Structure 1
Amino acid sequence: MSANDFSLQSLIRIETAADPAFVFDGTPVSRAEFSTKVGQTAAWLAAQGIGKGDVVAVWLVNRVEWLALLFAAARLGAVVAAVNTRYRSAEVAHLLKLSGAKLMVVEAAFRSIDFATILADVAKAEVPALQQLAVIGADAIPAHWPCVRFDAFEKPYPPAPPTEDDVDLPVLLYTTSGTTKGPKLVAHSQRTLSTHAASVAHALQLDHRRHSLLAMLPFCGTFGMTSLLGFIAAGATIHVLDAFEAAPALKILSEHGITHSFGSDEMFRRILVLTDAPRPFPHLEVCGFAAFQPGWRELAAEAEARGIKLFGLYGSSEVQALFSIGRAGDAFADRIEGGGWPMSPNAKVRVRDVETGELAPQGVSGEIEISAPSRFLGYFNNPAATREAITADGFFRTGDIGRLRGDGSFVYETRAGDAMRLGGFLVAPGEIEDELKSCAGVADAQVVAVDLKGQARCVAFVIPAGEPPRQDALTAHLRERLASYKVPARIYVVDTFPVTDSANGVKIQRARLRDIALERIAAE
């Protein structure tokens, strides 16, 4: 097989495919039209001085320009750094600095998101590599950097240089949670992306003549991007929401005979509550869902009773989303569990006993380790973290706890350590704690996740430095610096944290902190 067989371009070159390839906000885009847009975008990027190895940050909602930028960057040997539209200034600054992005493509505005105001809080000195902003929807926005309009589809530019054929270069950077302030960047190549996309299409037995996708997850994350690329590889039509809202999702599912969709449990819960129909989506075959909120088993049972099959799945930025999924033939209780069957026949899953360090037999819980064609290249500009995450024989240490079933499938049970699921995203407590500790009057901070009115929220405990800080002042600071789902629902001032002395040193009792948080909330 040639390198071209593993390129992103190969995904849109298939001979049998549905038309249109995409429907964005009711506007169809054929495969030929998309290929033209990719060529136009490659020419535009080259005119901006973007070439092999350069990083372009993409801070956009789900739109055709996002995909065109990714495929065009692949042609040039450039790299796209995906920026979450829910990020605030501290998170944007961290990503730009770590990636070394030379250009950022940004929305002029979208609903309540004020991109210009967020960027205004990013100091130029923090991100020395950034040279220019390209704006979609306006000629410019107020910013510290020069602005140009993204007009690749509006005017001709000189053709881009010949296509790069090194499919093993980094092409896409996802953010992932770390144990310190700010996430790491997970690097994927055209080969890892396109190979996994083909595996998804094959494992789900997708047929372009009868299958279609509602893409309601953000392209900036592996969950949204992987499902999208899998259906591109299958030649199926994809209906895209620029950002998730339950009512438009319900309309598309009802009117277009959608067969597949992927999302969080909360997304499907919000859609179902809008319709009283006993079997609202007769065409829907597979709803792959990630269980982030309490009550997900009850949701799955309700959906099942209304003719909607929910399928548990597993993935991460490092091995990509839809790494595995339940099967239709599985018992209901097994099908809805996280984990399932790997999409790729070449993927290997094993479990290591966290106490003994030995490989665990089936049924015994331990840390999940994965070897697969979908595995990432490494953490961008962080070789030390990459070495720590990969075993000597090439398995990724996931940091997740699970067990093997013995039939080729596995069960994901929980996240090792202290990482939290907030707003559908994995968040390291240290990221929020570091922001709190930067506030005046805070000597130390700890953050834990709790179930608050059926939603996973975080609660912070702070030790004051002198005069105790006010909760409203701390909350206001965090709202300016972090995504809303990372802002604690409560901030409590304490004198000390509960600790335990062990052979390895003093450890904070995070479970006790969670209990204290729930006790205080209940007392309110």
Structure 2
Amino acid sequence: MRQNEGSLQSLIGTEPAADPAFVFDGAPLSRTELSRTIDQTVAWLAAHGVGKGDVVAIWLVNRLEWVAILFAAARLGAIVAAVNTRYRSAEVAHLLRLSGAKLLVVEAAFRSIDFAAILADVAKADVPALRKLAVVGADAIPAHWPCVRFDAFDRPYPPAPPPQDDVDVPVLLYTTSGTTKGPKLVAHSQATLATHAVSVARALQLSPQRHSMLAMLPFCGTFGMTGLLAFLAGGVTIHVLDAFEAAPALEILSEHGITHAFGSDEMFRRILALTDLPRPFPRAQVFGFAAFQPGWRELAAEAEARGLPLFGLYGSSEVQALFSIGRPSDAFADRIEGGGWPMSPEALVRVRDTETGALAAHGVSGEIEISAPSRFLGYFNNPEATRDAIAADGFFRTGDIGRLRGDGSFVYETRAGDAMRLGGFLVAPGEIEDELKACAGVADAQVVAVDLKGQARCVAFVISAQDLHEEPPQHDVLVARLRERLAGYKIPARIYVVDAFPVTDSANGVKIQRNRLRTMAMERIAAE
């Protein structure tokens, strides 16, 4: 078929390209076979009433059906809403209601996830647009809605209508990380997705002959989907994990000589912990990581010593993952920092002082603003939120704090909501957390800002080390140590020892609930 410039279909036709395009659960899939499955899925969707502007929600793990439905929806002018497999009933209902999905493609079962039980807690009245479920792996599941089996690959369906030509309308909806009012839906077009995929492939200089990728992040998030599309654009074979587990990831990395992979710091920590080999991945070239957990610098140093080169990244649902990355020529300390160099030569990054509103000079922290071909179309059916997020000149206000280096790269420091203005200065919590973790008896630390008698102060939570030979951390000792290392305005007003931090599972890893930590801090201070 004709491949429109900027379409998702154009990514498959990259020449020269490696075959297979994908390896799912050890089974190779050529590019010709991939195109055929997409054709079959286009016919299946059309036969079930999906057309231009209709929304199809996908609630699947990483499998061929996910890719085929996305590409097929693009051909029909339909829209895919990505549902995180970690979601439960309230979150699924919110996404279905907000997107207006008329069809939900869902797993019959996967490991311990009972999709039918979760859907049983979703009231039909809460999702009035939903008409039907398409079940992968079974004929039906117990549900309030009619079920059909997703059998696009098993039987022929009547030919679909001609493909849509508009690559600039919404085709994929990601969820944001969420607020108390529920996550927004970030709309991307074929053009924003495909253009960015090509930019990443070029920036990484991908070669079908020299490179291979392990896809271990969920397709429902931009981190997983961007890597998938970029390496498809680069003509590189992609080995897919249906869901991350360290043992099968280690096996694929080792047996297939994987050169590229992307994941969270925790993923790579778990993989490295399973092997005693000093340099287990001799072909590793670029392993990009997002730092969600404390101790990521120590992890990067260990990985480097064992021949696993980690590269800091930056991205978001709004500008897509892999927006930027460190370079091999960067000093190690710079290369592992979040941020790096934009993948697209057309991308522009600036930093705005959050107090004055003026653009910040190099080296000065402020809110990161981005203009790039990878920028989203807007928040789906939410023009007010879109207006708030986009500056008059088209730059996206990221809500992230960082600084420009002055050489074309930048550093991501923290979320704006997490950044603390102490003593008149913006302070990243990680700076204080790293110092606390260097203290004897401290295994982990988190720092948040609170209002204490009208003054912004920080409060620390620490987890004791499990080493029986070390004394539990003492407040006065920790404060004295920090006073030796940090400016006075960075010293925590309180340091509390806890057994664990409150966390939330997301598509890309486990994240600390910093808002909950702030509440805990205020409750404890009030109790005093």
- The TM-score bracket by the shorter chain reads 0.7 to 0.9
Aligned length: 451
Alpha carbons 1:73, 1:171 under 8 Å: kept = yes
Whole-Å separation in 2 of the counterparts to 1:21 and 1:175: 27
| Corresponding residue SS for 1:86 | coil
Q: What amino acid is aligned across from residue 246 of structure 1 in structure 2?
A: A
In structure 2, the partner of 1:309 is 309
Corresponding residue number in structure 1 for 2:520 = 513
Q: In 2, are the aligned partners of 1:88 and 1:482 still within 8 Å (CA)?
A: no
Aligned match of 1:466? none
- Flag structure 1 segments of 5+ consecutive residues without an equivalent: 420-447, 455-474, 491-507
Q: How does 1:25-36 map to 2 (within 5 A)?
A: 25-36=25-36
Q: Is the 8 A contact 2:24 2:239 kept in 1?
A: yes
CA deviation profile, 1:456-479 (whole Å, cap 9, x unmatched) = xxxxxxxxxxxxxxxxxxx9xx99
Residue in 1 that maps onto 2:13: 13
Matches within 5 A, 1:347-496: 347-417=347-417
> What is the CA–CA distance in structure 2 between the aligned matches of 1:518 and 1:23, rounded to whole Å?
54
Letter in 2 for 1:29: L
Name the CA distance, whole Å, in 2 between partners of 1:265 and 1:287.
10
Distance 1:518 1:21 in 2: 57
Q: 1:242 to 1:345 in 2, by over 3 A?
A: same
Q: What does residue 207 of structure 1 align with?
A: 207
Deviation at 1:519, TM superposition (A): 12
Given the alignment of the two structures, is residue 87 of structure 1 paired with residue 94 of structure 2, yes or no?
Answer: no
In structure 2, C-alpha distance between the alignment counterparts of 1:510 and 1:219, rounded to whole Å: 30
Q: CA deviation at 1:177?
A: 2.9
In the TM superposition, residue 398 of structure 1 has moved relative to its aligned partner by 0.2
Describe the shift of the 1:215–1:277 C-alpha distance in structure 2 as closer, same or farther (beyond 3 A).
same
How far does residue 384 in structure 1 lie from its aligned partner after superposition? 0.3
What CA distance in whole angstroms lies between the structure 2 residues aligned with 1:118 and 1:61? 16
For 2:46 and 2:178, how far apart are their aligned partners in 1?
33
Counterpart-to-counterpart distance in 1, 2:269 and 2:374? 30
Change (3 A) 1:517 1:412: farther
1:212-227 equivalences in 2 (<5 Å): 212-227=212-227
Following TM superposition, by how much is the alpha carbon of 1:513 offset from its aligned partner in structure 2, in angstroms? 3.5
User: Is the CA contact 2:216–2:240 (under 8 Å) kept in the aligned structure 1?
Assistant: yes
Q: What is the RMSD computed on CA atoms of the aligned residues?
A: 2.7
Change (3 A) 1:365 1:489: closer
Q: In the TM superposition, what is the alpha-carbon distance from 1:157 to its structure 2 partner? A: 0.3
Aligned counterparts, 1:57-68, within 5 A: 57-68=57-68
Kindly provide the amino acid, as one letter, of the partner of residue 520 in structure 2: L
The 5 Å alignment of 1:271-282 reads 271-282=271-282
Which residue identity is paired with 2:77?
G
Offset at residue 356 of structure 1 (A): 0.2
1:44 alignment counterpart: 44
Deviations 1:81-104 (A, max 9, x none): 000000000000000000000000
Q: What is the aligned-residue identity percentage?
A: 78
Distance 1:144 1:17, change over 3 A: same
- The answer to whether residue 131 in structure 2 is matched with residue 131 in structure 1 is yes
Partner of 1:145: 145
Query: TM-score scaled by structure 1?
Result: 0.82
Note if contact 1:184-1:380 (Cα within 8 Å) is conserved in structure 2: yes
Secondary structure at the aligned position of 2:355 is classed as coil
Structure 1 counterpart of 2:158: 158
Checking the alignment, whether the CA contact within 8 Å between 2:3 and 2:10 is kept in structure 1 is no
| CA shift in 2, pair 1:487/1:89, >3 Å | farther
Q: Distance in 1 between matches of 2:207 and 2:411?
A: 28
Q: CA deviation at 1:29?
A: 0.5
Q: Deviations over 1:170-223 (max 9, x none)?
A: 000000034332100000000000000000000001001110100000000000
For residues 525 and 42 of structure 2, what CA distance do their matches in structure 1 show? 53
Provide Cα deviations, 1:46-102, integer angstroms capped at 9, x if missing partner.
011000000000000000000000000000000000000000000000000000000
CA distance in 2, matches of 1:122, 1:416: 34
Q: Find the aligned partners of 1:162 and 1:387 in 2 and give their Cα distance.
A: 35
Residue 53 of structure 1 aligns with an amino acid whose one-letter code is: G
Q: CA separation in 2, counterparts of 1:519 and 1:249?
A: 47
Measure, in 2, the Cα distance between the counterparts of 1:300 and 1:283: 17
Q: Is the 8 A contact 2:3 2:9 kept in 1?
A: no
Residues 398 and 452 (structure 1 numbering): CA distance in 2 closer, same or farther, change over 3 Å?
farther
Unaligned runs of 5+ residues in structure 2 are: 420-458, 466-501
Q: Secondary structure at the match of 2:412?
A: strand
Amino acid at match of 1:238: I
SS at match of 1:97: helix
In structure 2, C-alpha distance between the alignment counterparts of 1:453 and 1:141, rounded to whole Å = 46
> Equivalent residue for 1:254?
254
Which amino acid in the other structure matches residue 393 of structure 1?
Answer: D
Q: Where in structure 2 are the equivalents of 1:314-333 lying within 5 Å?
A: 314-333=314-333
Distance 1:227 1:518, change over 3 A: farther
Instruction: Say whether the 8 Å CA contact 2:292–2:511 is kept in structure 1.
Output: no
Letter in 2 for 1:57: A
Distance 1:228 1:514, change over 3 A: farther
Q: 1:103 to 1:488 in 2, by over 3 A?
A: same
SS of residue in 2 equivalent to 1:214: strand
Conserved 8 A contact 1:3-1:167: no
Structure 1 residue 13 displacement after superposition: 1.1
Counterparts of 2:156 and 2:516, CA distance in 1 = 61
SS in 2 for 1:6: coil
**One-letter identity of the residue aligned with 1:97:** R
* Shift, 1:417, TM fit: 1.3
- Structure 2: how far apart are the matches of 1:488 and 1:31? 40
State the AA in 1 paired with 2:344: S
